[in-house]
Structure 1
Amino acid sequence: MALPAEVINDFGYALGAVQMGATPAQAKPWKGEGAGVLELVDNHRGDTFRAVYTVRFAKAVYVLHCFQKKSPSGIRTAQSDIDLIHERLKLAQQHYKAHHES
């Protein structure tokens, strides 16, 4: 699924600020993964889009998942999205350890 250009621009600007050490106003903690995992939320033409990222690492920001919120269970995020974020966080930890730690 492709994100709308406006959403890509909004997320890109916010993530650029994150890379410079800022916390965007629209960032909020992502529940379930603990400190250092946040989400950006962007509403566009009646749809909600999310970008989940981590700032747990001193030298890198990892975007774990971008998706359109389409949960059949109402307000809850689909379990498949939650599982994907969890798995990608593990991969980010492995990547960081292999490429940024001495």
Structure 2
Amino acid sequence: MGGKHIDAKPLRGLSPGVMEVVSDHHGDTFRAVYTVRLANAVYVLHAFQKKSKRGIATPQAEVELIKMRLRRAIEIDKQEER
């Protein structure tokens, strides 16, 4: 519908248009990361349970996976334009 999820916020350290939604449920934290910067679709890049008890930062391994999937989403989106 073109709107932004009420709890979505930009994921720091990544390009503009990469958003994160954080949800707490029964003491656990879940995150979903998606991008709206591409023309043809909204791409969900990763969804995971935050397990680290050291701070709120997204673990580096998760960030690297998100970056890899963002690159792949960009490739797919360019193919859709053809």
Normalising to structure 2: TM-score of the pair? Answer: 0.92
Q: What's the counterpart of residue 17 of structure 1?
A: none
2:18 equivalent to 1:42: no
Contact 2:17/2:37 (<8 A) preserved: yes
3-state DSSP class of the match of 1:34?
Answer: coil
C-alpha separation in 1, matches of 2:42 and 2:22? 17
For these two proteins, the number of residue pairs brought into alignment is 82
2:55 equivalent to 1:74: yes
Contact 1:70/1:78 (<8 A) preserved: no
Structure 2 gap segments, 5+ residues each: none
Of residues 49, 54, 73, the one that matches 1:92 is 73
Give how far 1:71 is off.
2.3
Normalising to structure 1: TM-score of the pair? Answer: 0.75
Give how far 1:72 is off.
5.3
By percentage of residues, which structure has more helix?
1
Contact 2:40/2:81 (<8 A) preserved: no
Give how far 1:24 is off.
1.2
2:6 equivalent to 1:25: yes
Identity of aligned residues (%): 55
Q: Which has the higher contact order (CA 8 A, sep 6+)?
A: 2
Amino acid at match of 1:28: K
Structure 1 gap segments, 5+ residues each: 1-19
